[in-house]
Chains A and B, each alone.
Chain A
Amino acid sequence: AQKVTQAQTEISVVEKEDVTLDCVYETRDTTYYLFWYKQPPSGELVFLIRRNSFDEQNEISGRYSWNFQKSTSSFNFTITASQVVDSAVYFCALRGTGFQKLVFGTGTRLLVSP
């Protein structure tokens, strides 16, 4: 069975601080895909990044960066110099091959105060 664990329920930071959101996953698939989504209060899930299991290269996109480590089954997300607009719930998700369902973690609520 597939499982995603986001142990951090809520994180509060002050603007300009760096923050890391943790994600640990479980799967028996040898090929799988990992995702991060952002959910603002409006409710829509906004896609941030997809990472394939066969590509462990870390990625940076502006203030966002992702650290994928198969050895520890982790796919952590770091926001550098956080801003108030980053306040949202962030979900890590896992999908196997064959266009299977997305399995989500329980989410981490990030509160960035001015």
Chain B
Amino acid sequence: DAGVTQSPTHLIKTRGQQVTLRCSPKSGHDTVSWYQQALGQGPQFIFQYYEEEERQRGNFPDRFSGHQFPNYSSELNVNALLLGDSALYLCASSKRDSRNTEAFFGQGTRLTVV
């Protein structure tokens, strides 16, 4: 049973560029959440997708956008990259109709903006 998979694992981009990160949820899961983890900090919630719609959003600017596909996989897009966007981006999946569910995380994508 494959867990949550993210790609790529590492990425280096130049300030002002755009980036797309990808996530495949754990088998049986239908909800995908994205988190940003700056160095030495705890993960911060970006947004959550369910049924191909953004359901919740954290305190992140519109430069951060996402998408969920019919197969439940998801993308995170960041436009006009800033140096401060350098972080580990974590994808988490869960099953929405189960109250007693925990989120399972992928290994993350480490984004460096230079």
Contacts and interface: CB of A to CB of B under 8 A. Distances in A.
B91 to A, nearest CB: 10
B71 to A, nearest CB: 20
Contact of A52 (B42, B50, B100, B106): B100
Contact of A45 (B31, B40, B90, B110): B90
Given A35-B102, A102-B92, A44 B107 contact: yes
B56 A100 contact: yes
A107 to B, nearest CB: 5
A42 B107 contact: yes
A101 interface: yes
Interface range for A: 20 to 34
Contacts, number: 56
Contacts of B55: 99
Contacts of A100: 56
Interface in B59-114: 88, 90, 92, 94, 96, 100, 102-108, 110
Contact of B103 (A43, A44, A47, A103): A47
Nearest to A6: B42
22 contacts: A37-B105, A43-B107, A43-B110, A44-B105, A44-B106, A45-B90, A47-B104, A47-B105, A91-B42, A99-B31, A99-B50, A99-B94, A101-B48, A101-B58, A102-B43, A102-B92, A102-B103, A103-B45, A104-B42, A104-B43, A106-B41, A106-B42
Interface of B: 31, 33, 35, 40-45, 48, 50, 55-56, 58, 88, 90, 92, 94, 96, 100, 102-108, 110
Interface of A: 4, 35, 37, 42-47, 50, 52, 91, 93, 99-107
